[in-house]
């Protein structure tokens, strides 16, 4: 018999202590979860689930830190819509997890609470920025977790930790209560160890929310596996993703899966996404521009930490922002301010917006011919802690296969594909047309059942 949810919540602090070296969790919210249960708790589609949420999602009466000194002492007065939907579905939220400061990063090393470690090898990064959520699921502290994916922050850590990691279509899930990084990209996303739970959590959190004007009214269908449907899907392979820098083991897993799908009589077509190479540049212009505006609100007056109270107001702002934000966040605010400044706006920001439109067209064009795109998720296997923190460009290149989907706003998911010779997880990515998350689930389920690596 599986233990009751309340027993699992009670056992959580001890389990967390045992895995403390991984540094996956910032705040243990299990006592709040227990209080919320009252009696047997809400009966709902997730009433058997322990969940964790990234610490840039608000939960009433708990700290929201975004792994930044800037928010020290801040307690949230409200709950984010997707988090509320989890609670209403009966889930127990036992932890708020570690992340790169304000979700900016690819390794969960830029956190004021220190780095999160990869459970497959603690000397390696778990990916980021939602590394804490990925590790909490991979180490089996929880069943599933929410992260946020702006340019790959759920898909990349899912690949590094051997999990399913779904970034839904932009607008699918309400952003109400998610701390904004780049508002036209941010999407609340899901980690789980199997496809069924990934789909179940997605279905609970998705759907229109009057509190977020960018949330879509598109109906959310419930996933039920249909092998015939799965087999009817046409798979696209983009030649631009056969990258020179692609790790040899990831490349061979990718080619093997294509071979397998062909042997199962799937239609596999080559397609072209010609503007892929401009993705990273456009992404790091547009997201820094949005971040510089979004983060202006942390002025030492309205939220969290204040560096000093004496002296002039301008000085208070400067001291608070200089000491509260870490180096990566400061770099992005400066980059974003620069690309938006008079005289440079056309050259950078406007130009990047045009590139974004071209990338979006690439996808729309490809989806006229195919139902899904199969690509690698990451160019490399998990890398050692400390090797990329001082080299932002190399760090940014970790996102080369995930940012194009974020620029376009289409849904994409990492599917775990076994391990490398050295025992490290490998992941591949499936991308679908807008609002077609269900087709991703169908093919993933087919692969999960039929394909052994
Ligand atoms: N690694 C990317 C970045 O640093 C993605 C971050 C994210 O998706 N939140 O911007």
Q: Do 149 and 291 have their domain in common?
A: no
- Would residue 231 count as lying in a domain? yes
- C-alpha 246 to ligand 1 mean position (Å): 19
- Residue 255: pLDDT above 70? yes
Q: Which pLDDT score is estimated for 415?
A: 98
- Would residue 332 count as lying in a domain? yes
Last residue of a domain, one of 305, 324, 347: 347
User: pLDDT tens digits for 283-306?
Assistant: 999 999 999 999 999 999 999 999
> Predicted confidence band at 427 (pLDDT cuts at 50, 70, 90)?
very high
Q: Which pLDDT score is estimated for 310?
A: 84
User: pLDDT tens digits for 209-244?
Assistant: 999 999 999 999 999 999 999 999 999 999 999 877
Atom of ligand 1 lying closest to residue 185 CA: 8
Ligand 1 pocket member 105 (CB < 6 A): yes
Query: Measuring CA to CA, how many Å separate 108 from each of 43, 47, 423?
Result: 35, 30, 21
Cα dihedral 146, 152, 156, 162, rounded to 10, equals 40
Residue 427, SS3 per DSSP? strand
Q: Do 18 and 110 have their domain in common?
A: yes
Residue 118, SS3 per DSSP? strand
User: pLDDT tens digits for 95-146?
Assistant: 999 999 999 999 999 999 999 999 999 999 999 999 999 999 999 999 999 9
- Would residue 371 count as lying in a domain? yes
- Residue 323: pLDDT above 90? yes
> Predicted confidence band at 341 (pLDDT cuts at 50, 70, 90)?
very high
Bridge partner list, 425? 419
Ligand 1 pocket member 399 (CB < 6 A): yes
In whole angstroms, what is the distance from residue 54 CA to residue 155 CA? 14
- Would residue 267 count as lying in a domain? yes
Output 65 or 390, whichever has higher pLDDT. Answer: 65
DSSP character at residue 105:
-
Ligand 1 pocket member 119 (CB < 6 A): no
In this structure, the residue with its CA closest to atom 10 of ligand 1 is: 104
User: pLDDT tens digits for 37-96?
Assistant: 865 566 899 999 999 999 999 999 999 999 999 999 999 999 999 999 999 999 999 999
In whole angstroms, what is the distance from residue 142 CA to residue 192 CA? 9
From 103, 157, 377, give the residue whose CB has the most ligand 1 atoms within 8 Å, as the site to mutate. Answer: 103
- Would residue 294 count as lying in a domain? yes
Q: Which pLDDT score is estimated for 37?
A: 80
Q: Do 90 and 181 have their domain in common?
A: yes
Ligand 1 pocket member 64 (CB < 6 A): no
- Would residue 50 count as lying in a domain? yes
Q: Which pLDDT score is estimated for 22?
A: 98
Ligand 1 pocket member 56 (CB < 6 A): no
What average pLDDT does range 199-214 have in this prediction?
A: 98
Average pLDDT, the chain: 96
Task: Give the active site residue among 129, 133, 398, 406.
Answer: 129
From 101, 102, 106, give the residue whose CB has the most ligand 1 atoms within 8 Å, as the site to mutate. Answer: 106
In this structure, the residue with its CA closest to atom 5 of ligand 1 is: 151
Catalytic residue status for 167:
no
- C-alpha 351 to ligand 1 mean position (Å): 21
Q: Which pLDDT score is estimated for 245?
A: 85
User: pLDDT tens digits for 260-276?
Assistant: 999 999 999 999 999 99
Sequence-ordered list of residues with C-beta below 8 angstroms from that of 335, at least 6 positions apart, any chain: 284, 285, 288, 292
Q: Do 4 and 151 have their domain in common?
A: yes
Task: Give the active site residue among 76, 133, 153, 292.
Answer: 153
The token pair that represents 81 in the structure block: 């819509």
Q: Do 385 and 316 have their domain in common?
A: no
In whole angstroms, what is the distance from residue 361 CA to residue 103 CA? 27
Ligand 1 pocket member 130 (CB < 6 A): no
Ligand 1 pocket member 132 (CB < 6 A): no
Q: Do 250 and 299 have their domain in common?
A: no
- Would residue 352 count as lying in a domain? no
When divided into structural domains, the chain yields a total of: 2
Catalytic residue status for 54:
yes
User: pLDDT tens digits for 350-386?
Assistant: 999 999 999 999 999 999 999 999 999 999 999 999 9
From 54, 126, 132, 151, give the residue whose CB has the most ligand 1 atoms within 8 Å, as the site to mutate. Answer: 151
- DSSP result, 87-155: HHTT-EEEEEE--SGGG--SSS-S-TT----BTTBTTB---SSSHHHHHHHHTTSSSEEEEEESSSTTH
The token pair that represents 221 in the structure block: 């269908």
Last residue of a domain, one of 347, 371, 396: 347
User: pLDDT tens digits for 145-167?
Assistant: 999 999 999 999 999 999 999 99
Q: Do 183 and 297 have their domain in common?
A: no
Domain span including residue 82: 1-273+357-453
Under a CB-based contact definition with an 8 Å cutoff, are residues 107 and 115 in contact? yes
Last residue of a domain, one of 324, 347, 370: 347
Task: Give the active site residue among 54, 96, 167, 388.
Answer: 54
Q: Is the pTM of this model over 0.95?
A: yes
Q: Do 209 and 264 have their domain in common?
A: yes
Q: Do 8 and 24 have their domain in common?
A: yes
- Would residue 439 count as lying in a domain? yes
Query: Residue for token digits 């699921």?
Result: 137
Q: Do 231 and 133 have their domain in common?
A: yes
Q: Do 333 and 403 have their domain in common?
A: no
In whole angstroms, what is the distance from residue 433 CA to residue 446 CA? 19
CATH number (domain holding residue 80): 3.90.1300.10
Phi and psi, residue 271, nearest 5°: -130, 170
Ligand 1 pocket member 133 (CB < 6 A): no
Ligand 1 pocket member 165 (CB < 6 A): no
Q: Do 29 and 171 have their domain in common?
A: yes
Percent of the chain surpassing pLDDT 90: 92
Bridge partner list, 236? 269, 373
- C-alpha 202 to ligand 1 mean position (Å): 21
Bridge partner list, 375? 429
Q: Which pLDDT score is estimated for 64?
A: 98
Note the maximum CA span of the chain: 73
């Amino acid at each position: 018999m599986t233990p009751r949810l309340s027993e699992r919540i009670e056992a959580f602090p001890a389990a967390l202590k045992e895995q403390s070296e991984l540094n996956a969790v910032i705040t243990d919210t299990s006592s709040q979860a227990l209080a919320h249960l009252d009696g047997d708790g809400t009966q709902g589609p997730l009433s058997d689930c322990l969940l964790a949420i990234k610490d840039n999602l608000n939960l009433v009466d708990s700290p929201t830190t975004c792994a930044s000194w800037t928010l020290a002492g801040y307690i949230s007065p409200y709950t984010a819509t997707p988090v509320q939907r989890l609670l209403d579905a009966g889930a127990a939220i036992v932890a708020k997890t570690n992340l790169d400061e304000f979700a900016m990063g690819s390794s969960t090393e830029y956190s004021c609470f220190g780095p999160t470690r990869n459970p497959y090898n603690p000397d390696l990064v778990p990916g980021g920025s939602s590394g804490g959520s990925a590790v909490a699921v991979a180490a089996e502290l929880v069943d599933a977790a929410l992260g946020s994916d702006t340019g790959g922050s759920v898909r990349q850590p899912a690949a590094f930790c051997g999990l399913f990691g779904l970034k839904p279509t932009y607008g699918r899930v309400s952003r109400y209560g998610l701390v904004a990084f780049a508002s036209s990209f941010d999407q609340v996303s899901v980690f789980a160890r199997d496809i069924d739970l990934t789909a179940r959590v997605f279905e609970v959190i998705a759907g229109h929310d009057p509190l977020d004007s960018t949330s879509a009214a598109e109906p959310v269908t419930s996933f039920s596996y249909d092998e015939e449907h799965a087999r009817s899907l046409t798979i696209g392979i983009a030649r631009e993703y056969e990258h020179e820098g692609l790790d040899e083991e990831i490349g061979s897993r990718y080619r093997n899966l294509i071979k397998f799908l062909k042997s199962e009589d799937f239609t596999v077509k080559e397609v072209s996404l010609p503007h892929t190479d401009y993705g990273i540049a456009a992404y790091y212009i547009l997201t820094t521009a949005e971040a510089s505006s979004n983060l202006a609100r942390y002025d030492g007056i309205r939220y969290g930490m204040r560096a000093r109270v004496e002296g002039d107001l301008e000085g208070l702002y400067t001291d608070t922002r200089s000491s509260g934000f870490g180096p990566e966040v400061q770099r992005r605010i400066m980059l974003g301010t620069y690309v938006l400044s008079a005289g440079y706006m056309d050259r950078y920001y406007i130009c990047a917006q045009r590139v974004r439109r071209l990338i979006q067209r690439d996808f729309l064009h490809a989806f006229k011919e195919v139902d899904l795109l199969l690509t690698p998720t990451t160019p490399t296997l998990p890398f050692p802690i400390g090797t990329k923190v001082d080299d932002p460009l190399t760090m940014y290149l970790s996102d080369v296969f995930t940012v194009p989907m974020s620029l376009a706003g289409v849904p994409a998911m990492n599917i775990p594909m076994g391990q490398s010779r050295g025992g490290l997880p490998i992941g591949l990515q499936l991308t679908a047309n807008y609002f077609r998350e269900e087709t991703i689930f169908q093919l993933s389920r087919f692969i999960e059942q039929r394909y052994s690596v």
